[in-house]
Structures are given as structure tokens and as C-alpha cells.
Amino acid sequence: MKSETVIASAPAKVILFGEHFVVYGKPAIAVAIDRRVYVKVGIREDRKLYIRSLSLEISGYFQNEKFVLESGKESAEEKFEPIRVVAEKLLEASNKDVGVTIEIDSQIPVAAGLGSSASVAAATATALNHLLNAELSREEIFRVTFEAEKLIHGTPSGIDPAIATYGGAIIYRKDEGFQPINIEFSVPLIVGDTGLERSTGSLVAHVKQIRNAYPEIVNSIFEAGEKIVEKAVQALKEGDLEVLGRLMLINHGLLFAIGVSHEKLDKLVHAALRAGAYGAKLTGAGGGGCMIAIAPSKLVDQVISSIEQAGGTAFSAKINVEGARIEN
């Protein structure tokens, strides 16, 4: 067993098309972006599972099925529970009777639709797999990450753990899993954050409620979402940014129609369009969190400035990056 510390990282994700519709068997397109979570792990002789989040400023440890808060908010135990599950699965797989220290340093906004929880789980699993010589395959890392996500989101689609583990760009369908998409050109992507945290679970429940009330109408919206994804895959393969932009706007309109947008999201979308973006839409669950835009390369800075003037924070992002990996 290695005695040194190990650092692993995993990427954030954005859903380009198909969020919410994917829960009902429709396809979605997601990509890894170059914001990452870094997790440092080490062995402890006291058998404690000690976890510290630098970005959330919370820390504490699990021992004998009890949680002891060291610093930060009382909600630390709830936030750390998925990480505990990951650590216990890796310890079980390695057959090691030790404690571990897990330190999380994230570049990804929390509860913003960028998959931060899956990134933490995938990076933790990857780091502990290496530290403990557990010899889990990448597919098994994905499964562990997916199990952790279920604790947070109830019935997650699987997109976030897939992107965090494997990286790249994928088309995902619930019944069929995911297939990689080969994107051979640069997509000038901008991410705008409203700063509003929201609950994926409550928004998924809201869509279910709307669908139960108006099944024929909402099912038609889901069908339209599927057609958007089909055309978007073709546009991605051909490098047609203008078509991608138009499809983004249509997708945003459908998401607005089922009640998962937000006044601030709409404001940032319009700000991006005013600055010359080809298109923009919310990404992830909605209700706050982030939006994305595609713009001509020469206008990226202008779009970022416009989003920030409208009250968001924004950054440009590279897509199609590597999944969970060891850093040292």
C-alpha cells in the first residue's frame, strides 16, 4: 500500500442539449469542460474518515458510524455523506483496514448545474483507487460515482458521473447509456452563473408534476427536445456554430415552457444574445445555476462582459477535456 498522498481531479460538465427530457428516455448531449475538482487523499492510522472541503470551508470526520463536525456548518454531514460512501466502497474493494484523509479543492460552483458533486465523487474514487491499490476499472469508478450521486439527486440520469469519469463529449440516453461524440473543432463556449443555488431533485419533481397534469402537451415538448438533439449532433460533427446557437435558443424555450427557467437565467441569456452570441440556454436543472452561450471567437470577451453587466459571473470554457485522472 502506498503511504504518500495522492491527488486526483475530475472535470465539470455542461449539458448542451436535452436536460430534463433525458429523465423520460430522450437523448441529451453533455461535454466535459476545463474547470476541475482536485482531491488529495492520504492514509490515517486512527481509522477515521476525515473530510475537508476548502471551497465550502467545512471539515469533520466519520468514525464508528458517527459524524463529528470540526468546522463549518451543521449541514457538513449531509454534504459529506456521498464522499463517505465512495471512501467505504474503495476501502472495501481494497480490503484495507485503515482511515483516510480526503481534502477537496474545487474550481466548480456548487449547485449550479455543472456537476460538482459527481466531479468530487469521481476524483475521490480515482485518488483512493490509486492510494489503496484497489484496482477498480474506469467502469467501476463510474458505478461508484453513480451510487454517490443517487444519495444527492435521488434518481439521477447518469450524465454527471459519466462525464466526470470519462470526460469528452457524449450523447446519453437512459435506456442505452452513453456514446462518445467526436468533436474535431473548437467550440467557443461561455458559462454564466446566476449565483442562485437550486435543488435538482425539486426541479425534476416539478417537471413530473407538470407532465402528469398535461401529458399530451409535455410529451410533445419532450419529442421536440429529441429532434433538437438529433440536429445538434450533426451540427457538432460539421462544426456549424450558427445552427448550434439556434438550436440552443429553441431548447431554452422548451425548458422555459416546462417551468424550469428563472428570471435571472433569462436575463443572462438575453444579455449574451445582445452581445452577439449565436445562441444561449440554461444548462442543468435550471431554477438558477448556470446558462451557456456559443459565440464567435472574436466576441467571447464581449459576451462575458455583457453577462456580468446583467448580474452574473462568467467565464470561457474549453470543452471535450479529459475525465478523472491522477495528478501526481
**Beta carbons of 149 and 95 less than 8 angstroms apart:** no
Cell (9 digits) for 59: 471539515
Flag whether 255 is in a domain.
yes
Please state whether beta strands 99-106 and 49-53 pair in parallel, antiparallel, or not at all (unpaired). parallel
Flag whether 301 is in a domain.
yes
In this predicted structure, what is the pLDDT of residue 197? 82
In this predicted structure, what is the pLDDT of residue 1? 44
Cell (9 digits) for 28: 441529451
Look-up: residue for cell 435571472?
264
Other Cβ atoms less than 10 A from the Cβ of 189: the count is 21
Active-site amino acid positions? 160
In this predicted structure, what is the pLDDT of residue 154? 67
Mean local confidence (pLDDT), 284-308 = 95
**Beta carbons of 198 and 19 less than 8 angstroms apart:** no
pLDDT tens for each residue of 25-45: 999 999 999 999 999 999 998
Same domain (yes/no): 134, 157: yes
Around 319, how many Cα atoms within 13 Å sit in the side-chain half-sphere? 25
| pTM (2 d.p.) | 0.88
pLDDT tens for each residue of 270-293: 999 999 999 999 998 899 999 999
Same domain (yes/no): 139, 229: no
In this predicted structure, what is the pLDDT of residue 158? 80
Same domain (yes/no): 198, 164: no
Flag whether 1 is in a domain.
no
What CATH number did the domain enclosing 289 receive?
Answer: 3.30.70.890
DSSP strands (E only) in 184-308? 189-193, 279-283, 290-294
In this predicted structure, what is the pLDDT of residue 328? 85
Q: What percentage of residues in the chain have a pLDDT greater than 70?
A: 98
Same domain (yes/no): 162, 250: no
In this predicted structure, what is the pLDDT of residue 156? 67
Flag whether 158 is in a domain.
yes
Same domain (yes/no): 151, 196: no
In this predicted structure, what is the pLDDT of residue 2? 47
CA distance 163 to 221: 26
In this predicted structure, what is the pLDDT of residue 227? 98
Answer yes or no: is pLDDT of 88 > 60.
Answer: yes
Domain range for 11 is 6-181
Same domain (yes/no): 12, 116: yes
**Looking at 150, 181, 212, which one is the last position of a domain?**
181
Confidence of residue 236 (pLDDT cuts 50, 70, 90): very high
In this predicted structure, what is the pLDDT of residue 157? 72
Flag whether 322 is in a domain.
no
Residue 86: which H helix or E strand, with range? helix 76-94
In this predicted structure, what is the pLDDT of residue 72? 85
Flag whether 152 is in a domain.
yes
Same domain (yes/no): 59, 164: yes
Mean local confidence (pLDDT), 292-297 = 96
In this predicted structure, what is the pLDDT of residue 271? 98
Flag whether 323 is in a domain.
no
Answer yes or no: is pLDDT of 114 > 90.
Answer: no
Same domain (yes/no): 300, 194: yes
pLDDT tens for each residue of 54-68: 988 999 999 988 999
**Looking at 131, 159, 181, which one is the last position of a domain?**
181
CA-angle at 262, arms to 259 and 267, nearest 5°: 135
Same domain (yes/no): 123, 245: no
Same domain (yes/no): 269, 307: yes
Look-up: residue for cell 450558427?
242
Same domain (yes/no): 237, 173: no
Answer yes or no: is pLDDT of 3 > 70.
Answer: no
**Residue 128 vs residue 203, higher pLDDT:** 128
**Looking at 129, 159, 181, which one is the last position of a domain?**
181
In this structure, of 7-11, 26-30, 203-207, 222-226, the range with the lowest mean pLDDT score is: 203-207
In this structure, of 29-38, 124-133, 148-157, 307-316, the range with the lowest mean pLDDT score is: 148-157
**Number of structural domains found in the chain:** 2
Look-up: residue for cell 462525464?
163
What CATH number did the domain enclosing 122 receive?
Answer: 3.30.230.10
Flag whether 237 is in a domain.
yes
Same domain (yes/no): 83, 118: yes
